[in-house]
Structure 1
């Protein structure tokens, strides 16, 4: 190869080029691939690999490389069927390095926690010594890549056991990159990076994460992995109808009422409440799940029976703009008018905790109205409604943010792979009953106050009631935190459940007639300046571990709680 570069005669150089290409084709078996060990033979012969590999791997989703998957599976240790293309660039880049060579990549950060990145995480922690990781999260620092990260790692068995990490904060200017890296990076032990997912945090936060993990049973185990997503209709425009359409279908034929069910989208599920948009699902299960009058018949005969059974629905589905798409869609049952097979239809029609697929803050709600839902909504069938209070708590939001990936704007994705890791601490039946009573109050108040304007003659009453709602939420937060961190809170003389149990709070269903007067009375009692629960909540930020959870950087005697003195003074006697 060196003869070629040293040659100055153009004819001789052309001849050498032809000979080199012919030799390469012979060595590669005329394969249409780029073989580094052939094209850079002198690097591997003398150096056993490159000193440095620098790259920005292409972000190509796995759906676009289906034609390559058979080849990738044979060649890459880090292969999984759902891995995006850049995953293989990491393994390839590391294999091209000499021992102690350095790889530096800018790529997506999704592999830090995604299931498809597990093998790569294991590969890197086993075969390399990490030097630096800068995780930009959803900061828009690069136009061409979402959720970017910079990874610098050295090939070879880990020796120093530590590396520098940095979580880039939103709003920081990339022009201050060097200053930020120097001032905000922290040292982490490589051994804390587990195959299940990488979290970059200082020792205090890592110890807290581990303490929470050990504090109870994983939610997946607690609910026997009964996490379900809503119905994939394959064509919502046909199967999901508004109230006027629902009423018209029933008016056309009363049989339609049998299959029209109240329906939620992910966007309809809020924190503590459901903002029902008066939509309905045409629920016709697959013949795989239910015996219909048409089940087992030939297509033409089956459709005739369907038309006789639900004539109004059949007329709707026969509209030209709907029928063609219904027939072509992939998510369907045995017949085009059926929904895809689902083995948990019965779970929709029971008490459950529901949550959207994307949310900014914990947004779990309780459904006792047997709603059906779309695939942007998830649910856990359970009668243990106290869990809704736990899942909406600040300590669980902190935990979830640290084990999962956020999306643009700091929003969270409710992936079951992460949700199932939430630890459920041991709690007595009395503890659960107290939390469930408070959850009942919050659910009721959220529904009652949702559409009431905070102005005019109702101004003071509504303001007080909203403060009541906020305060009940804060009590739930404090009690849940005590379940996870009893020693840390009790060391600072913060007791909540002990005092709450003394109140003998009635469950919401035990409060007859107008519930507001009773709730206001309970609130006034718990909100009294001398009440130990109020005092504990007001000074809760004085506990160091609480400050970590709430993201408070330093001690500030004037910032102890979400309950401000002006808010306290605004309370009226009733």
Structure 2
């Protein structure tokens, strides 16, 4: 089998980028490639949605599959093309109809054989079948491979790969080429950018992948890229459906994006993939009205702001609150996340068993310590290698700490952060600021189905699965009542991506979206009501006080309680 095109063309020569591509092509695991395989019901729906239907003369269209894997999308697309070609009588004039790319060599060879078998089953000779397969299939890195011409239809499931799994030289090459590979963006983001760049005028891209990019910080450049040149025609939320052959924790969605003028987006929520076919006509409609299962959302923000695909009434409430009140941080609060060590088994243990100097360890608040809604500390602590000024301590001045760390050096020095700067091998990933431990704060677990906001009076340092909120003006108990309310969950659900089972991400970027009055504008009796409701963990009382504080009507509160409105 021929090597990937990037090697044939000599694009990189003998360099780390080429070595990284070879490693992924020859030796990578399924996890490293981000390979997840899609159910046939989903595949057929996406091909229909993108207009790649055998009823059309597909011989006049160019089809692209950027990461074909085992052929979940490619083989059905080929069958549709062959059916349309037989009906149109074009014979073998199919050389330019399909391009499909796969980097992993063994997967490429396996699917190549399937393509040949499929063509032969449709009456093509073995020689003709191999000819078409060689024309159609490319063994290469889609993000680097030369691609000629534009495509009318792009369909697929781009690889879901975290940046930490991509060799540094290759990641740098991707960053140089793709403006959307920003912050902590996963690999599917530049896949989307390149696929969209390859679309012909009027062409359509239909992908199934995680929908984090639509609301997360790292998705801002991709959102701007799309709204300035393309239109999000349809969005199908599959977070509660089984769209793949294996379970995934990522929250999948189908997006249909076209190189056409901006316009409304058709939105649907699906819990059973067996019902997808019923939605096709409603999602492909061009009228100004939705259906019972498909609703319309107006134009999307063009400035990279998160895409809130909420019901019209819910979106109106969000915008009204955003126009009337400052953000949480503008109102004098600070949002942060606890410490990530990169090696918890080395840095974290029971306080009494951490054999270091007393000023080199801090009591640690972990998720299990606040499961009850109140702090019930289990006695764990974290090693602190930082001085108060933020610099690392001199290990020579702390013989117990040095011995403790050296005993665990193999674990600690093997982390990415340690390899990046071996002279600072014993640092935690995040800097530890000891003053945070003694500051009263609210602790909020990352992943929950409802807002869990726990008051901590200033004794513990938060672990990395906990977000914290401190306040310079607001009383923390009163703030706790606001954050426990349905209004807060409404804000989080509007901006957060959603996980299977209805769980939300209570991350800093979403918490910062919450609107909050200035403390000076809160009447004294309201301050007392909020504080009392929080101390009693009385959510209905929190909701009642918050409704009055924000001037919400009963209809507004009904929206904040409505699960359907909170879905998107």
Shorter-chain TM-score bucket reads 0.5 to 0.7
Which of 190, 194, 205 is the equivalent residue of 1:103? 205
Which of 216, 225, 231 is the equivalent residue of 1:129? 231
Q: For the aligned residues, what is the CA RMSD?
A: 3.9
What stretches of structure 1 of length at least 5 have no aligned partner? 8-12, 25-30, 38-43, 250-254, 446-468, 490-542, 555-574
Q: Quote the residue 1:482 is aligned against.
A: 548
Compared with structure 1, are the counterparts of its residues 70 and 474 closer, same or farther at alpha carbon in structure 2 (3 Å cutoff)? same
Superimposed CA distance per residue, residues 385-429 of structure 1 (whole angstroms, 9 cap, x where no aligned partner): 111111111111011111111223222223222211111124556
Compared with structure 1, are the counterparts of its residues 214 and 429 closer, same or farther at alpha carbon in structure 2 (3 Å cutoff)? closer
Aligned-partner SS, 2:523: helix
Are residue 547 (structure 1) and residue 554 (structure 2) matched? no
Aligned-partner SS, 2:398: helix
Aligned residues: 418
Which of 476, 486, 495 is the equivalent residue of 1:403? 495
Q: Quote the residue 2:338 is aligned against.
A: 230
Superimposed CA distance per residue, residues 47-69 of structure 1 (whole angstroms, 9 cap, x where no aligned partner): xx332222222222222334333
1:67-78 matches, cutoff 5 A: 67-78=169-180
How far apart are residue 138 of structure 1 and its match? 4.5
How far apart are residue 147 of structure 1 and its match? 1.7
How far apart are residue 339 of structure 1 and its match? 5.5
For 1:263 and 1:339, the matched residues in 2 are separated by: 14
Q: Quote the residue 1:220 is aligned against.
A: 329
- Quick check: which has more Rg, 1 or 2? 1
Compared with structure 1, are the counterparts of its residues 5 and 438 closer, same or farther at alpha carbon in structure 2 (3 Å cutoff)? closer
For 1:206 and 1:220, the matched residues in 2 are separated by: 22
Are residue 154 (structure 1) and residue 258 (structure 2) matched? yes
Compared with structure 1, are the counterparts of its residues 432 and 120 closer, same or farther at alpha carbon in structure 2 (3 Å cutoff)? farther
Which of 355, 359, 369 is the equivalent residue of 1:268? 369
Are residue 207 (structure 1) and residue 316 (structure 2) matched? yes
Which of 142, 146, 150 is the equivalent residue of 1:35? 146
Q: Quote the residue 2:515 is aligned against.
A: 423
Check the 8 A contact 1:260/1:283 in 2, yes or no. Answer: yes
Are residue 355 (structure 1) and residue 444 (structure 2) matched? yes
What stretches of structure 2 of length at least 5 have no aligned partner? 1-89, 96-126, 283-291
How far apart are residue 330 of structure 1 and its match? 6.0
Check the 8 A contact 1:272/1:364 in 2, yes or no. Answer: yes
Are residue 381 (structure 1) and residue 470 (structure 2) matched? yes
Aligned-partner SS, 1:98: strand
For 1:141 and 1:547, the matched residues in 2 are separated by: 31
How far apart are residue 262 of structure 1 and its match? 2.4
Which of 164, 179, 195 is the equivalent residue of 2:278? 179
Q: Quote the residue 2:214 is aligned against.
A: 112
How far apart are residue 337 of structure 1 and its match? 6.6
For 2:403 and 2:430, the matched residues in 1 are separated by: 23
> Which moved further from structure 2: 84-93 or 384-393?
84-93
Superimposed CA distance per residue, residues 483-521 of structure 1 (whole angstroms, 9 cap, x where no aligned partner): 22x2x53xxxxxxxxxxxxxxxxxxxxxxxxxxxxxxxx
Check the 8 A contact 2:357/2:398 in 1, yes or no. Answer: no
For 1:152 and 1:337, the matched residues in 2 are separated by: 47
Check the 8 A contact 1:138/1:406 in 2, yes or no. Answer: no
Superimposed CA distance per residue, residues 195-229 of structure 1 (whole angstroms, 9 cap, x where no aligned partner): 211121221111111112123111132236x3332
Superimposed CA distance per residue, residues 51-94 of structure 1 (whole angstroms, 9 cap, x where no aligned partner): 22222222222223343333333433433253222222222222
For 1:479 and 1:409, the matched residues in 2 are separated by: 29
Are residue 86 (structure 1) and residue 188 (structure 2) matched? yes
Which structure 1 residue ranges, 4+ long, deviate > 6 Å from structure 2? 4-7, 332-338
Superimposed CA distance per residue, residues 357-398 of structure 1 (whole angstroms, 9 cap, x where no aligned partner): 222211111111421222222222326211111111111101
1:312-323 matches, cutoff 5 A: 316-317=404-405, 320=407, 322-323=408-409
For 2:467 and 2:272, the matched residues in 1 are separated by: 37
How far apart are residue 186 of structure 1 and its match? 0.3
Compared with structure 1, are the counterparts of its residues 273 and 33 closer, same or farther at alpha carbon in structure 2 (3 Å cutoff)? closer
Q: Quote the residue 1:458 is aligned against.
A: none
Superimposed CA distance per residue, residues 112-143 of structure 1 (whole angstroms, 9 cap, x where no aligned partner): 11222212111222212332111212533223
1:435-514 matches, cutoff 5 A: 435-436=527-528, 438-440=530-532, 442-443=534-535, 445=536, 470=538, 473-484=539-550, 486=551, 488-489=552-553
> Which moved further from structure 2: 394-403 or 117-126?
117-126
For 2:340 and 2:502, the matched residues in 1 are separated by: 27
Aligned-partner SS, 2:158: coil
Q: TM-score, normalised by structure 1?
A: 0.63
Check the 8 A contact 1:134/1:165 in 2, yes or no. Answer: yes
Check the 8 A contact 1:221/1:420 in 2, yes or no. Answer: no
1:6-25 matches, cutoff 5 A: none
Q: TM-score, normalised by structure 2?
A: 0.64
Q: Quote the residue 2:10 is aligned against.
A: none
For 1:69 and 1:260, the matched residues in 2 are separated by: 36
How far apart are residue 148 of structure 1 and its match? 1.6
Superimposed CA distance per residue, residues 284-312 of structure 1 (whole angstroms, 9 cap, x where no aligned partner): 534863797xx4xxx6xx1xx423xx5xx
Check the 8 A contact 2:388/2:434 in 1, yes or no. Answer: no
For 1:35 and 1:137, the matched residues in 2 are separated by: 34
Which of 151, 156, 163 is the equivalent residue of 1:50? 151
How far apart are residue 546 of structure 1 and its match? 2.1
Q: Greater helix share, 1 or 2?
A: 1
For 1:482 and 1:330, the matched residues in 2 are separated by: 50
Q: Quote the residue 1:557 is aligned against.
A: none
For 1:62 and 1:324, the matched residues in 2 are separated by: 24
